[in-house]
Amino acid sequence: MENTSTEKIQAINKAQKEFFHSGATLDISFRKEMLKKLGYAMEKWEKRLCDALWTDLHKSYEEAYLTEISIVKGEIRNHIRHVAGWARRRKAHSPLKLFPSRSYIVKEPLGCSLIISPWNYPVQLLLNPLVGAISAGCTAVLKPSPYVPAVSKAIEDMIRDTFDERYIAVVQGNRNVNTALLEQRWDLIFFTGSPALAKTVMAAAAKNLTPVVLELGGKSPCIIDKTADIAVAAKRIAWGKTLNSGQTCIAPDYILIHKDVKEAFVKAFAEEMRGLHGEDIKADRHYVRMVSDKAFERVTGYFKDGKIIYGGRTDVTERFIEPTLIEDVAMDSPLMTEEIFGPVFPVITIDDNGQIISHCHPEQSEGSFHNTVINFVTSREKPLAFYYFGKESDGWEIIRRTSSGGGCINDVIMHIANENVPFGGVGNSGMGRYHHKESFECFSHTRSILVSYSWPDLPFRYMPYRFFKWVKGLM
């Protein structure tokens, strides 16, 4: 795909600033109309988008619709329903010292936004933030990933067919284009991708003090306690790990499992894989492939970091990797220090005394399974997601003593499916939140306005502060 030129990027940036400052995006009626146009476009272009997802990722229509199309449609409906209320000017209490004034909280759009998305959910992760930009009254430049060229071209054609370039535009290309984009001045940069690239984005934004929303990733733990329903845990974890072939920012990344249920889980996991994908996973049209040869090589490279106890089959010609469980993993190996982003699952077994059962791990005990789990998680970067299977009260206690962007008790992934709650990372897994009202908020500035009167003009605020003692008592 041809790179968008720097001159074109500069021209789009200039045109969008002029369009924004014209005030055209401010009316709620305009925003609702544009949200509806995006909704109509999603209907019109659904087949083209789904076909492109199959071409780039081998993502079936069902999975494409459930994990991409439907989520964007749901977000659009939500914002159409609520944007008027979110944008409404609100009166705030004014204390006696400000008598006789009135105070207001006003929501205003930040302005011209840049949205950069990754390849793993290329429709959802580009268009969901766009919903927030439209809802808040911003303009937007969209930068899809070059690693999914069919999807990126489909989105470009859809946006060009739907919106004026002065309002919403698509820019295509590699990292050189990203560099050119980041050299422009924006009012907000919304980036979804890796922590490493996020540092580049944040450094560029810092030059102009541009606010950023960073939706990143990390190694999300999955804890399986001895109180877990193993059949349910295995089914939900098998589904969550094979969704998009593990190429999901909130996919469970590694398992911390109680020794008493480890063997039962491995057996149940294998059974659930057959239930989800049949005897030959490779033949299942719902099983997604690695996005590139480079990704295939990187993920299969993890096989050497431990002992395979389930799976391990690959096919380089199709970029196919069978879901794979690996044990006896060294804690400093790439498998335990890098985000896997594939269907490979390290399994770390812990006994009642908190001892990690592995010949690669030195003698160590934290006194209990829960203490070891807590210390294991908190000694690493804060993850984007956290998953616990077992007694709910124990899950809440471990959640209380750890930190993550979000998570589930006795489930995986599904917290993102609730369009009424925010989504975002913490620490190394991101900053800022979106979805529902949070999407509107992150593209908005909250402005405080005081309305005063010319009479009475009370003298106590003026020099030489004759009423200071009285005023002090009011504060």
Which residues are catalytic, by number?
A: 215, 249
DSSP 8-state assignment for residue 3: P
**Beta-ladder partners of 407:** 386
* C-alpha–C-alpha distance, residues 262 and 351, integer Å: 10
Q: Is the dihedral of CA 198, 203, 204, 205 positive or negative?
A: positive
Could you tell me which of 465, 456, 440 has the C-alpha nearest to residue 190? 440
SS3 425: coil
The secondary structure of 451-473 as a DSSP string is E--SSS--GGGSTT-TTHHHHHH
* C-alpha–C-alpha distance, residues 25 and 414, integer Å: 34
* C-alpha–C-alpha distance, residues 191 and 2, integer Å: 22
SS3 94: coil
Q: Are 441 and 111 a contacting pair, CB within 8 Å?
A: no
Q: Are 178 and 172 a contacting pair, CB within 8 Å?
A: no
Could you tell me which of 369, 410, 411, 374 has the C-alpha nearest to residue 390? 410
* C-alpha–C-alpha distance, residues 186 and 208, integer Å: 8
Query: Which alpha helices (DSSP H) does 207-292 contain, by range?
Result: 230-242, 262-277
SS3 80: helix
* C-alpha–C-alpha distance, residues 50 and 47, integer Å: 5
Question: Residue 12: which H helix or E strand, with range?
Answer: helix 6-21
- 345 CB-near residues (< 8 Å, 6+ apart): 241, 252, 254, 255, 323, 324, 325, 326
Could you tell me which of 421, 419, 428 has the C-alpha nearest to residue 128? 419
